Structure 1
Amino acid sequence: MNILSKLSVLCLLMVLGCQAQHPAPSDFIPENFKEFETIYGDLNNDGLEDCVLIIKKVDTTQIVVNQYDKKVDRNRRGIIVLFKNENGYQLADQNLDCFSSENEDGGIYFPPDLWINIKDNKLHVHYGHGRYGYWDYTFRFQNANFELIGYDSSSNRGPVTLRETSINFLTKKKLIKVNTNEDSEGGDENFEETWSDIDIDHLIQLSQIKDFDVLEMYQF
């Protein structure tokens, strides 16, 4: 083997070695899944930009024709959470099919929009439902898992907030605020507050949630 060939082999081995030691976010996407959305932010308070991947199953049997005769992709979505370190990324948590597709049939209503964001080292799974309100799940990495520590929701009628709910799973407290101003037009609500205790033995883990669509908070 001549010198040029040896150098070529050496360069190839160096490249392969770097790839093995410095995994990229896309390396964690399983077979038969594709990247749907990528979010960056610090989730473990170490000053490094961690990565959240929203992935989507690739299954042609889930390409269907909806009620409007439009072909849509009903494959479910999942989440992969990666911590950044000096060698690239490492898997922190995952749930491969906990979210419905973005093309669900909302009936007489449009389906809520799923937003994932990172704020104050916490992972937020947020569903926005336009003028009808929103609901938001707050997860924090602890006990080697992302655990649900908070829930907030708002029920609206256009610009008017009808009811707000906030649950703190760490303090085991729930706050419900109900607008008692029937004539409010938005911004002039008068809320009546009710505090209560919740009964929970173990925090819900992100990896254990089968379907966010049926993750009801009314039980607390």
Structure 2
Amino acid sequence: MKRSLLILLCTITSQLFAQNNNPVIPKSGSTLNSFIPKGWKIILQSSKGDLNKDGIADQAIVIENTDTANFLKNEGFGAKKLNLNPRILLVLFKSNSGGYHLAAKNKNFIPSENDEETTCLSDPLLGEGGITIEKGLLKIQYQYFLSCGSWYVTNTDYTFRFQNQKFEWIGYDEYSLHRSSGQQSITSINFSTKRRSETTGGNEFNDKDNKPKTIWKKVNISKLLNLETLTKEVIDQIL
């Protein structure tokens, strides 16, 4: 009997923990705070801008769990305590009445503050990254900077446009710099035109060594991917 109760208690605790990391987000709300589950917080708000061409300024936010169970002690390089709390991106359309409607969400490629495997990695989103709304486009920007283990710093930009009733992934840009040599590389992909450019041989520090060359390739995709279905695994396959 005691064993059965113990198993039941562990199961309930596990379910509560899972629900805490995967909360239910309401479809609508009067304010931004209406979309924040208990135990979570807003860590980033985008600039305001019209995403669905209705003349009303919309907004995107990133929320983060605050569960202490998602903090991990680190004995190696980097932060002494790693914050592995999950984050969720919420894209909110504003209505004429002043409230908001949930247009899209994704947590599958929103990085946490720290990384258990790459402990020297700075926060990709809040370091030099961010989220913006410009000319009707939603842009998610990350910077990958390591304080140990690598000289490279890489900026990646993901661009989405609301069309066909979803946020379709239409563009990707990547800029990489070697902080010691100044060596540069640039990749730019237009998924709408299925064209990809790769520029190598550039150098930010030395004009003599700055000899960039660009090649163009075709992108083999059958249809545009959308924000809600993007995962790190899918992105790695495309890139």
* Alignment CA distance shift 1:211-1:30 (3 Å): farther
1:166 to 188, 208, 211: 188
Report how far residue 34 of structure 1 moved: 2.3
Residue type of the partner of 2:235?
A: L
Residue type of the partner of 1:216?
A: D
User: How far does the alpha carbon of each residue in 1:54-106 deviate from its partner, in whole angstroms, 9 at most, with x for none?
Assistant: 01124332122122583343111110100112112111111245322112246
Query: Is 2:42–2:64's contact at 8 Å kept on the other side of the alignment?
Result: yes
SS in 1 for 2:236: coil
- For residues 132 and 196 of structure 1, the distance between their equivalents in structure 2, rounded to whole angstroms, comes to 24
Question: Which residue of 2 is the match for residue 192 of structure 1?
Answer: 213
Unaligned runs of 5+ in 2: 1-27, 146-151
Query: Is 1:105–1:111's contact at 8 Å kept on the other side of the alignment?
Result: no
* Alignment CA distance shift 1:191-1:162 (3 Å): same
Residue type of the partner of 2:213?
A: E
* Alignment CA distance shift 1:139-1:180 (3 Å): closer
Report how far residue 144 of structure 1 moved: 1.2
* Alignment CA distance shift 1:187-1:154 (3 Å): farther
Question: Which residue of 2 is the match for residue 65 of structure 1?
Answer: 73
Question: Which residue of 2 is the match for residue 83 of structure 1?
Answer: 93
1:99 to 94, 105, 110: 110
SS in 2 for 1:61: helix
TM-score with structure 1 length normalisation? 0.76
Residue type of the partner of 1:185?
A: F
* Alignment CA distance shift 1:98-1:110 (3 Å): closer
TM-score with structure 2 length normalisation? 0.71
Q: Look at both structures and tell me which one has the larger radius of gyration over its CA atoms.
A: 1
Question: Which residue of 2 is the match for residue 215 of structure 1?
Answer: 235
- For residues 29 and 73 of structure 2, the distance between their equivalents in structure 1, rounded to whole angstroms, comes to 42
Question: Which residue of 1 is the match for residue 171 of structure 2?
Answer: 150
Matched, 1:175 2:197: yes
Query: Is 1:37–1:53's contact at 8 Å kept on the other side of the alignment?
Result: yes
Q: Which structure shows the higher strand fraction?
A: 1
* Alignment CA distance shift 1:55-1:186 (3 Å): farther
Question: Which segment is superposed worse, 92-101 or 66-75?
Answer: 66-75
Question: Which residue of 1 is the match for residue 60 of structure 2?
Answer: 52
SS in 1 for 2:33: helix
Query: Is 2:114–2:123's contact at 8 Å kept on the other side of the alignment?
Result: no
Report how far residue 24 of structure 1 moved: 0.7
Report how far residue 161 of structure 1 moved: 4.6
Question: Which residue of 2 is the match for residue 35 of structure 1?
Answer: 42
Question: Which residue of 2 is the match for residue 25 of structure 1?
Answer: 32
Instruction: Give the RMSD, CA atoms, in angstroms.
Output: 2.7
Unaligned runs of 5+ in 1: 1-20
Aligned sequence identity (%):
32
